[in-house]
Each structure stands twice: as C-alpha cells, then as structure tokens.
Amino acid sequence: MSGHSKWATTKHKKAAIDAKRGKMFAKLIKNIEVAARTGGGDPAGNPTLFDAIQKAKKSSVPNDNIDRAVKRGSGADAGGADYLTIQYEVYGPQGVAFLVECLTDNKNRAAMEVRTAVTRNGGTMADPGSVSRLFTRKGVIELTKAQESREVSEDDVLEATLDAGAEDVNDHGEVFEVLSEATDVVEVRKALQAAEIDYDSAEVQFVPSLEIPVDAEGATKVMKLVDALEDLDDVQNVFTNVDVPDDVLAQLEED
C-alpha cells in the first residue's frame, strides 16, 4: 500500500497548497479593493493601487478578479465591503515579537480569531505600543536576481536605486531586498522600472530594529504560530522579529 499512502500524502499537500493559494488570492484582492477605495481606481494616479495590482498579477490572480476588485473599491460596481485596518501586538515563543495586520469588516470577529490563534499556539497578546516600538515602517521591494533578459547584480540594483532613496540592498540567495524610507518606496520602484529591472513586490512593511535568535524548538513554534495567524481570513500580514540561524534552519530541513 506504499503507493496509495504516497498518493494520499501528495493529495493532502496539494489540498493545503490550493487552500493557501485561495486565501492568498482573497487577501490580494482585498488589498486592491481597499487601495482603490482610499486613493481612487486609476493605478496611474494611485501608487498603492498600482503596487497592489502588480503583486496580484505576479501571484497569478486572474485579471477579471483584479478588475472587479478595482471597480468595487472605487464604487464603479456595488458590493464592496467597508474594511477596517486593525493591528494586534503579540509575544510568541522565546520572546519573539509579532505585529499582526488585519483588514476586516467585523472587528469583534477579527479580535476573537486572532486571540484564539495566539493562545492556542503558545503566544500572548501584548499591550499596545510594547511590540510596535520594536519595528520601523520601511519601503520593502523584492526582486529576483534571474530576470528574463539578464542576471541582475547587487551593483545594478544599487546604481539604479540609490539616488531614488534606497538605503540598503540585502542578498537573500535568489532574491534581492531593497529597503528605503516608507515615503520613498514608489520612487525606488520607479527607478527600478526605469532601469528595466523587474520587481516582484513593492510595499510598506514593518521591519524589526532588533532580531531575536531562536533554537530549533523555538523556530518550529514560531512558524506554527505564523501559519495559524496567516490562515485567518482577516489577517493580511504577520511581521516578526525572529532570527532563525542557518544551522537551526538546516536542522529543521533535516527533520
């Protein structure tokens, strides 16, 4: 029966991936709707909407879904929900801090679901301000080194973006991460486009000022808590200051 059990495992993994993709699509669509409601339905005049659409397209969200979200958000079509942005602060295993961003049309539901996920996975809700002070809002742009036309180097990225406000370029293996002030993210993105360097995402995120290293047990628990939070429909982003050292990562991959 080994063949059968292998198929069962594969099917289970595929179902989990499909469910994740469905949740990811829903979150990307929600971002587009909110961006269109806040700044209008024209991406040329609404940089937040432009970037939300780009991210959705990179994640293979169908164009019809994107167009409908823009119309709902801008009021061209009826049916858009009135979303609230809420932020929760959490302490997780081994003192790791979490910022949880929600977009919800039901504040009470979001609060209850986040609290339940946190307490069931070894975390505690923190007082407002106690976690957020550990993070800074930054522009974060991610791009793949292997582009369609060429391989992009760190020097290429720096040369294109320094004058536009880029502060740092981090090498993450196959991907570069460009950091800037939150207010400069659009200019940095435009500078990459002008240099014909394609990017995967450009958005404002919370970047930790100090990272907390964890052991294998802590890393496993942190990832479990992140997964539980990201599984919630109202949760858009989970930011954490966890640092998983390379040797711990290698140990987890072996397990």
Q: Convert the pLDDT of each residue in 90-109 to its tens digit.
A: 999 999 999 999 999 999 99
Q: What is the pLDDT of residue 197?
A: 95
Domain ranges, ordered by start, for the chain: 2-74, 84-133+211-254, 134-208
CATH topology of domain 2-74: Arc Repressor Mutant, subunit A (1.10.10)
Please say if the pLDDT value at position 21 is more than 50.
yes
Q: Token pair of 157, please?
A: 């990225």
Q: Would you tell me the crossing angle of helices 185-194 and 154-161 to the nearest 10 degrees? A: 120
Q: What is the pLDDT of residues 189-217, one digit of tens each?
A: 999 999 999 998 899 999 999 889 999 89
Percent of the chain with pLDDT over 70: 91
Cβ–Cβ < 8 Å for 179, 212: no
CATH topology of domain 134-208: Alpha-Beta Plaits (3.30.70)
Q: What is the pLDDT of residue 223?
A: 87
- Which three-class secondary structure state does DSSP give residue 165? coil
Query: Residue 120, Cβ neighbours under 10 Å: how many?
Result: 11
Please say if the pLDDT value at position 5 is more than 60.
no
Query: How large is the average pLDDT for residues 151-171?
Result: 94
Lay out the sheet containing 235-240: strands in order across: 124-125, 84-91, 97-104, 235-240
**In CATH, what number does 84-133+211-254 get?**
3.30.70.980
Q: What is the pLDDT of residue 128?
A: 92
Quick check: do 2-74 and 84-133+211-254 share a fold?
Answer: no
